[in-house]
Amino acid sequence: MTHASLAERDYSKTTERHSPEFRTLTWLIPCVMLVTAVAHWPALSARAVSFDDHQYLLQNPLVKTPSWNSVQRFFTEVLKPSSVAGYYQPLSMTSLMLDVAMGGSPQNFEPLHRTSLLLHTLNTGLLALLLYRLFRKAWPAALAALLFGVHPLTIEPIPWIGERKTLLAAFFALISLCCYVRYARSRDSIPAADDAPRWYMFSLAAFLLALLSKPTTVPLSIAMILIDLWPLRRFGKKTLIEKIPFLALTALFAVITIVSQGRSSVATMPTEYPISRIPLTLCHNIFFYLWKFVWPVNLSSHYPFPSPMDLSHPMIRAGLIGTALLAAFVLASLRRTPAAAIGWLVWFVMILPTMQIVGFSDVIASDKYFYLPAVGLMMIVAWVLGLAWEKSRPVARRAAILAVVAVTIGLTTATRAHLSVWVDSPTFYQYMIRLTPNSAALHNNYAVELVNMQKLPEAIEEYRKALSIDPGDERTITNIGVALRAAGKPYEAIRLYKEALNNPKLSHSYSILVNLGTLTAEQGDTEMATEYFRVARMENPKSAEAQTNYANGLLTSGKYAEAVEAYREALELRPDIADIHNNLAVALNDLGRTEEAIQHFNMAVVLDPNHAGARSNLALHLAQLGQLQEALTHVRVAVKLQPNNTELLYMASQLEFNTGHAEESKELLRRVLAIDPGFEPAKELLDQFTFKQTADRVMTTQPTTTQASKPAP
C-alpha cells in the first residue's frame, strides 16, 4: 500500500473553497464552458436524423406524449424495454420526453439539442473540477477540460438525439467521480473531515443515476479503484471495502443490460464468433480511438467492421502494431511515473463495454463511445500540463497556455466544420457515404430519408446500390419493396419479395414475409396473405408484431375466433401495445362479446391516449349502451386527432346533438360537407330535416363511420 504524505493528506486545514487555486478555478470554469458552448453552437440548428432517432423520438409515442404513464413505463420495463429497442435507460428516455414537453418535436429539434449542448458544457465544467480535485492545479485542470470541451470527438452526442444517454450518463458519472474524490480527500485528511460520509453517499447516488441513464457506465467503480492507485495514492483493503456498494451496482446493471439488450434488440455473445476476433477487435479499436484523438479527421457516425476481419486488412495490422508500441511506451513510463499507465487504463476500462466483445451494433467503433472514457486521457493531459506549473516556471506556464490556446483554435475550427454535415439528413448521409462508399447500411439509411422527402426514384436507386453491396440484407429488401409500393409498383414489389425468399444469401425473411402478406392482402388474396403472416410468425414466434399481423389476416378473413386467440398470444408478448388491444376488441365485438371489447378499447386508450381508432370505436360502443356523455368525451378527442375524417365528424355530430349540443352538431355537419360536399347522410340531416324531427332517428341510424371490423394499421 502506498500512502500519501502528511502534507498531501492534510485536506481539512485549508478547505477547498478557501484555496487560492480553487478561487482561480471558479472563474476559469465559466470561461472554459463559454468557449465550449461557442464551439458547438451550430449543433442547435442541426436537422439530421441519425440511425436510431426514429425509435428515440420520431416514432416513440411515449416520448411524444409526455405523461406519468410514460415515465412509469420507462422505469418499470427493466428486463424487456418496449419503448426503445435496447438496454434499460429510463432516465434518458424521461429526459427526452421532458424536452418534448418543453416544445421539442419531430419538426423542432432545437429544444432537444439545447439540452444536449447544456449537458456537454456542464460536463466540461465538471471535468475541470474533477481534474482540479485530483491534481490541485487550477490552470492545468481548466486547460485539459477545454481541450475535451472543443474536441471534435465530443460532437456526436449533441446533434444525435438518441445519444442523449451518453451526455446524461457522463453528467452523473462526472458528478460521482467529483464527489468520490472529495470524499477520499476528506476521509484521508488528518483529522478526517466530518462531511466525508455525505460525499460518499452523493457519489453512490450519482453513480446509480448514471447507470439509469446509460448502463455502459458500469466500469466506473473499477475506474475509482484505479484513481485510488494514482493520483490519490490510497489503495488498500479499506478502499476496496468502500467499493462494495459500487461493485454491487456494477454487477446488477451488467446483468440487466445483457438481458434487456438480448430480449429487446441484438446481443452477439463472444462464443458466437471465432475467438481470434476479440484480440483483433481490441487492438484495432485501441489504435483507432487514440489516433482519432490525436488527429480527428474524417470523423463519421458509422465505422463498419473491416472486411476481412484478419491480418490481411491494413487497419487490423495497424491496430496490432500501434497497440504493441503503445504497450511498450506505457510499460517504459512506469519507471518514472504511473500517470500514463493509470490514465490509459481508466480510458480502457471505461470504453471496454463498447469494444464489441459483446456485439450489439453493426459498427466496430463510434465517436460517442469515446466521450466519457476520455476522462482517463484528460488525466494524462492535466498531469503533463501540471509539470509546467511545478517550481514556479513562468516561461513553461506561458508556453503551455499558448500551446493549448493554439490547439483549441484548431480543434474548434474542426468541430464547427464537422457540425456542418449535421445540417440535414441528406447532407449527413452523403458525407458518410463519401467516406465509406461500400456500406450497405449507409445507402439504405440515405434511401429512407429520400423516401421521407418523397424522392422515390432516387430512393429506389440508393436501395439498389445497397443491395448490390449486400444482396441478402433483409432490411434493404424490405425497404425497397415499400418504396416500390409507394411509387405505384406493388406487383414489382411482390416479385422482388418472392425472389428474395429464394435467395440463399438472405439473412432473415421475417419482415419480407410480413410486407409480402400486406401487399398480397391489398391485392385481394386474403387467404394467401394470412399464410405469409403465419409463416412469419413461425420464423419469429417471440415477435408480437408477427402474431399481430397473423391475427389481422384472420380478422380480415372473417375468422374471428381464431383472430381472438392470436391477438391474445400477441398480448402475452407485448401487453403494452394499444393497437393489439384495439384490434382484439374489434374481433371480440364481431363475436358479440361487447363487454370484453369495451374493456380492451379502454385499455388501448389508456396505453395510447392519442389512438383515434380506439377512441372512436369506444365512443360508438358506449353510445350503443346509452353512455352518451362518456362517448362524447372520447369522440371529441378523436376529432382533434383526425380533424379531416368525415365519418368521424359525422358520428361526433350525432353525439353532440343527442347530448343537447345542437349548435356544435350543426358546425360539425358543415365541416363534413366542406371536406366532402357529396356526403349524403350529412346533407340529409342538415338540409332536409329539422333536428327536433329527426332526433329519434339520429342515434338509431347505424353510422358507417367507425369501420369497427377493420384492424388498426
Strand partners, 108: 105
pLDDT of residue 2: 41
CA distance 31 to 125: 9
Question: What nine digits make up the cell of 666?
Answer: 350543426
Q: What is the pLDDT of residues 639-672, one digit of tens each?
A: 888 888 888 888 888 888 888 887 888 888 888 8
Does the CA dihedral 566-568-570-576 come out positive or negative?
A: positive
Q: Is the pLDDT of residue 696 over 50?
A: no
Is the separation of the CB atoms in 304 and 436 below 8 Å? yes
Instruction: Flag the least confident range among 163-177, 338-352, 635-649, 698-712.
Output: 698-712
Is the separation of the CB atoms in 447 and 483 below 8 Å? yes
When pLDDT is averaged across residues 598-619 and rounded to a whole number, the result is 88
Query: Which DSSP string corresponds to 581-627?
Result: HHHHHHHHHHTT-HHHHHHHHHHHHHH-TT-HHHHHHHHHHHHHTT-
Q: Is the pLDDT of residue 263 over 80?
A: no
Q: Is the pLDDT of residue 712 over 50?
A: no
Q: What is the pLDDT of residues 672-688, one digit of tens each?
A: 888 888 887 877 777 65
CA distance 383 to 131: 9
Q: What is the pLDDT of residues 41-56, one digit of tens each?
A: 999 999 999 988 999 9
Domains and CATH numbers, the chain: 6-419 (no CATH), 588-713 (1.25.40.10)
- The pTM score is 0.81
Task: Return the percentage of the chain with pLDDT > 70, whole number.
Answer: 93
CA distance 264 to 312: 35
* Mean residue pLDDT across the chain: 88
Q: Is the pLDDT of residue 437 over 90?
A: yes
More confident residue, 358 or 329: 329
SS3 678: coil
Q: Is the pLDDT of residue 390 over 90?
A: no
pLDDT of residue 704: 37
For residue 391, what pLDDT band results from cuts at 50, 70 and 90? low
Count CB neighbours of 507 within 10 A. Answer: 11
Strand partners, 363: 304
Q: Is the pLDDT of residue 190 over 70?
A: no
**Would you say how long the chain is, in residues?**
713
When pLDDT is averaged across residues 697-706 and rounded to a whole number, the result is 40
Instruction: Flag the least confident range among 345-359, 453-467, 530-544.
Output: 530-544
pLDDT of residue 687: 65
Phi and psi angles of residue 159, each rounded to the nearest 5 degrees, phi first: -80, -15
Instruction: Flag the least confident range among 29-33, 553-557, 672-676.
Output: 553-557
Is the separation of the CB atoms in 8 and 234 below 8 Å? no
pLDDT of residue 123: 98
Is the separation of the CB atoms in 586 and 617 below 8 Å? yes
Strand partners, 365: 303
Q: What is the pLDDT of residues 398-407, one digit of tens each?
A: 888 999 999 9
SS3 181: helix
